[in-house]
A and B are shown apart, each in its own frame.
Chain A
Amino acid sequence: MKPTENKRRRDFTRGALALLVGGAALSAARSRSPKLVWQIDPEQCSRCGRCATHCVLAPSAVKCFHSYSICGYCDLCGGYLRPDAKGRNTGAENQLCPTAAIKRTFIENPYYQYTIEEDLCVGCGICVEGCSVFGNGSMYLQVKHDLCVNCNECAIARACPSDAFKRIPASEAYLLKSDQEKRIG
């Protein structure tokens, strides 16, 4: 065997070994790094409506969340009633949500509770806008992880004008507005 051939063979063996070790280290690091999921930072969301239109799922994996600890339980709820509502009641013509996904329940004079029917919610964010402008901002959007397929590149994140989509650990998959929130899907 010529000395040059011998060197080439040695270099090849070294290279292959380095590749193997590198690959093993990378996959070990990967299995140790937490699984990440997409989530919306409610403080950054500008309620543009793209969460309803850009998800690969139809209806969107983004849903409205409601923080009961922040809510004022208002009779005149900016998230429930249209700005031009003629009455403060459950009449379809008064409701802001286009899919009637918000339920209004009388608690005691003058308090009302608002619950989101997730199956009907399309994540359009109109109620979030109304609640932020006129109320306490207790309604907000979140990616529901029992629905989301966790696309490598979230189609909404790509279209989001407010940079509100974040990659966060799956172990804490929601960016809730209040620690006291009971409703976590």
Chain B
Amino acid sequence: MTAVGKNWIWFVAIMALVLALGAYLGNSRRADLGKSFDYSLDEYRVVDPALMGYAEEEPLVPSITNITSLAIAEDGTIHVGGENAVQTLPDLHTIALEATPTSLALDADRVLFVGLRDHVLEIAKDGTRKAWDSPGEKTYLSSIAADDWYVYVADAGNRRIWRHSKLKDGPPLEIGEKDWANDVRGFYIPSPMFDLAISRTDGSFWAVNPGYHALENYRPDGMPLSTWEASGMTIDGFSGCCNPSHFALLPDGAFVTAEKGLPRVKVHNVDGSLRCVVAAPNQFDDTVKGLDVAVGADGTIFVLDPNRNQVRVFKEIQ
């Protein structure tokens, strides 16, 4: 080999070394910041199989998109709110709306109450519609529940529950104002997740106080009855700063709770202790938020999964 050829080989080799060193420094300089810079929720995503009390069945798939809210009629018909519509499942009958619902409820007469962010739209069985007055500017109606006497509307924006009498005998009753003198701490709602449900037995209602990780029981006149709370990432608690994001009541009064952040669905006994897990975090996308839940008369649990645009079905393992 000539001297010129040898010089070329040296030149190419040195250049390759310089480039490789540059790439290495560029990619790995201070790359390892140390263990304290790790952030992992992996240990909380694993659920002891012995705690799994429900098995998943085939999901129901609506044809509307952007699904947000779930309600079940007394006859078992499932109603799903989504992109500018409410749809019944499994027959896919669609009721068109001018906006996407933020909440949904049905009463025993099959009157549909649709939360359209700042006001309620009432749709009677014959299709006649009536828009209610909005409670105010900041209103965000995150949940509705109705019995024979009242329609309760949870307003996450104003941190209030509005109780509307079906007799239409006056303005709605405002529930949730802070009253430290009587030990009423008010609702603490960091993000628009504020769910409520009417007890199946005594006409009282339950509401989530998400900033406290609490479920609170109230008389229809707004007087507090009882409360329980459970904070923590471990399976028996509620994680993050505003959970449970949604809940529903089982026929025996137990709570079906759904969380965001660490998405999981569980059953808590009436005293708040954990009964079992319905769906573990690894059954959802990490980013899923808004797992609305509903319970059928036979105890079947329905979970609205906005990421998959499905209503997922869970039956108790016998």
B-binding residues in A (CB < 8 A):
49, 52-54, 58, 72-78, 83-84, 96, 98, 109-110, 122, 124, 126, 129-130, 133-136, 155, 158-159
CB–CB A53/B29 < 8 A:
yes
In the complex, what residues of A have CB within 8 A of residue B301's CB? none
Tell me which of B34-42, B46-54, B59-67, B68-76 binds A.
B34-42
Give Cα distance in the complex from A136 to B192, angstroms.
10
Chain B residues touching A, majority SS: loop
CB–CB A159/B242 < 8 A:
no
Known: A72-B191, A158-B26. A84 touches B233 (CB 8 A): yes
CB–CB A136/B30 < 8 A:
no
In the complex, what residues of B have CB within 8 A of residue A76's CB? 211, 213, 231, 240-241
Across the interface, A72 reaches (CB within 8 A) one of B190, B262, B286, namely: B190
CB–CB A134/B239 < 8 A:
yes
Q: Is B172 an interface residue (CB 8 A)?
A: no
- Of residues 166 through 211 on chain B, the ones whose CB sits less than 8 Å from some CB of chain A are 185, 188-191, 211
CB–CB A83/B41 < 8 A:
yes
Across the interface, A83 reaches (CB within 8 A) one of B37, B185, B211, B233, namely: B233
In the complex, what residues of A have CB within 8 A of residue B17's CB? none
Across the interface, B31 reaches (CB within 8 A) one of A53, A75, A77, A98, namely: A53
B47 to chain A, nearest CB (A): 16
Q: Is B212 an interface residue (CB 8 A)?
A: yes
CB–CB B26/A155 < 8 A:
yes
Give Cα distance in the complex from A126 to B188, angstroms.
25
Q: Is B33 an interface residue (CB 8 A)?
A: yes
* 22 pairs, A vs B, C-beta closer than 8 Å: A52-B33, A52-B37, A58-B30, A74-B211, A74-B241, A74-B242, A76-B211, A76-B240, A77-B241, A78-B261, A83-B41, A83-B44, A84-B233, A96-B39, A110-B188, A129-B39, A133-B261, A134-B261, A135-B191, A135-B240, A136-B190, A158-B26
- Of residues 239 through 255 on chain B, the ones whose CB sits less than 8 Å from some CB of chain A are 239-242
Q: Is B27 an interface residue (CB 8 A)?
A: yes
In the complex, what residues of B have CB within 8 A of residue A58's CB? 30
Known: A76-B231, A77-B241, A110-B211. A52 touches B30 (CB 8 A): yes
In the complex, what residues of A have CB within 8 A of residue B37's CB? 49, 52, 98, 124, 126
CB–CB A54/B241 < 8 A:
no
Residue in A58, A74, A124, A130 with the greatest tally of chain B CB atoms within 10 Å: A74
The residue of chain A having its C-beta at the shortest distance from the C-beta of B178 within the complex is A109
Across the interface, A135 reaches (CB within 8 A) one of B39, B41, B185, B241, namely: B241
Say which size band chain B's interface belongs to.
20 to 34
In the complex, what residues of A have CB within 8 A of residue B185's CB? 109-110
Chain A residues touching B, majority SS: loop
CB–CB B29/A54 < 8 A:
yes
Give Cα distance in the complex from A158 to B30, angstroms.
16
CB–CB A136/B44 < 8 A:
no
The residue of chain B having its C-beta at the shortest distance from the C-beta of A109 within the complex is B185
In the complex, what residues of A have CB within 8 A of residue B261's CB? 78, 133-134
The residue of chain A having its C-beta at the shortest distance from the C-beta of B234 within the complex is A84
CB–CB B211/A124 < 8 A:
no
B193 to chain A, nearest CB (A): 10
Give Cα distance in the complex from A75 to B231, angstroms.
12
CB–CB A133/B240 < 8 A:
yes
CB–CB A78/B240 < 8 A:
yes
In the complex, what residues of B have CB within 8 A of residue A134's CB? 239-241, 260-262
CB–CB A159/B27 < 8 A:
yes
Give Cα distance in the complex from A78 to B188, angstroms.
16
CB–CB A78/B233 < 8 A:
no
Across the interface, A126 reaches (CB within 8 A) one of B39, B211, B212, B213, namely: B39
Give Cα distance in the complex from A58 to B260, angstroms.
36
CB–CB B30/A72 < 8 A:
no
In the complex, what residues of A have CB within 8 A of residue B29's CB? 53-54
Give Cα distance in the complex from A73 to B185, angstroms.
16
10 smallest beta-carbon distances between A and B, as pairs: A72-B190, A134-B240, A74-B241, A98-B36, A134-B261, A53-B30, A76-B241, A126-B39, A74-B190, A133-B261
In the complex, what residues of B have CB within 8 A of residue A73's CB? 190
B137 to chain A, nearest CB (A): 16
In the complex, what residues of A have CB within 8 A of residue B239's CB? 83, 134
Give Cα distance in the complex from A153 to B260, angstroms.
38
